[in-house]
């Protein structure tokens, strides 16, 4: 049926595979680092859920209030909201020292 011209012998699967029998050829599990790092899990998932709830759930009205207030104080929305989350209070125009402290902690911009 088949002539010798153009006939190829099938590759030996055992030679092509460098993995052990029963191995799926995926990445080694030892090299994987979970998203919480190399330490224990601890309260990682509680912190993650809390962070998500704090940043992702405010109503549109609250977001707009914070944006306007932050702009009046010369802060970003993130800086203003972080201050509320960390200290439990809204910054006022009289909080000059704290506002200056937040601004000085910003990373330097390269121009």
How far apart CA 45 and CA 64 sit, in angstroms, is 29
Tell me how far apart the alpha carbons of residues 25 and 100 are, in angstroms, rounded to a whole number: 55
Residues 6-41: pLDDT tens digits?
666 665 555 555 667 777 777 666 766 777 777 778
Asked if the structure places residue 84 within a domain, the reply is yes
* Assigned domain for 87 exists: yes
List the helix and strand counts (H, then E) for the chain.
Answer: 5, 0
In a domain, 90, yes or no: yes
Please write the tens of the pLDDT for every residue from 55-100.
Answer: 888 889 999 999 999 999 999 999 999 999 888 889 999 999 999 9
- 66, 80 contact by CB (below 8 A): yes
Instruction: Name the domain count of the chain.
Output: 1
Question: What's the domain range around 69?
Answer: 60-111
Residue 108: inside a domain: yes
Is 70 among the domain residues? yes
CB-CB contact of 104 with 79 (8 Å): no
Distance CA 68, CA 90 (A): 13
């Amino acid at each position: 049926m088949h002539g010798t011209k153009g006939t190829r012998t099938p590759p030996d699967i055992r030679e092509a595979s460098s993995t052990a029998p029963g191995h799926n050829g995926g990445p080694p599990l030892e090299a994987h680092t979970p998203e919480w790092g190399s330490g224990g899990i601890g309260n990682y998932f509680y912190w993650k859920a809390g962070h998500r709830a704090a940043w992702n759930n405010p109503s549109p009205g609250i977001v707009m209030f914070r944006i306007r207030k932050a702009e009046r104080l010369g802060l970003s929305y993130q800086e203003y909201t972080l201050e509320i989350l960390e200290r439990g209070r809204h910054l006022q125009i009289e909080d000059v020292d704290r506002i200056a402290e937040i601004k000085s902690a910003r990373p330097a911009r390269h121009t």
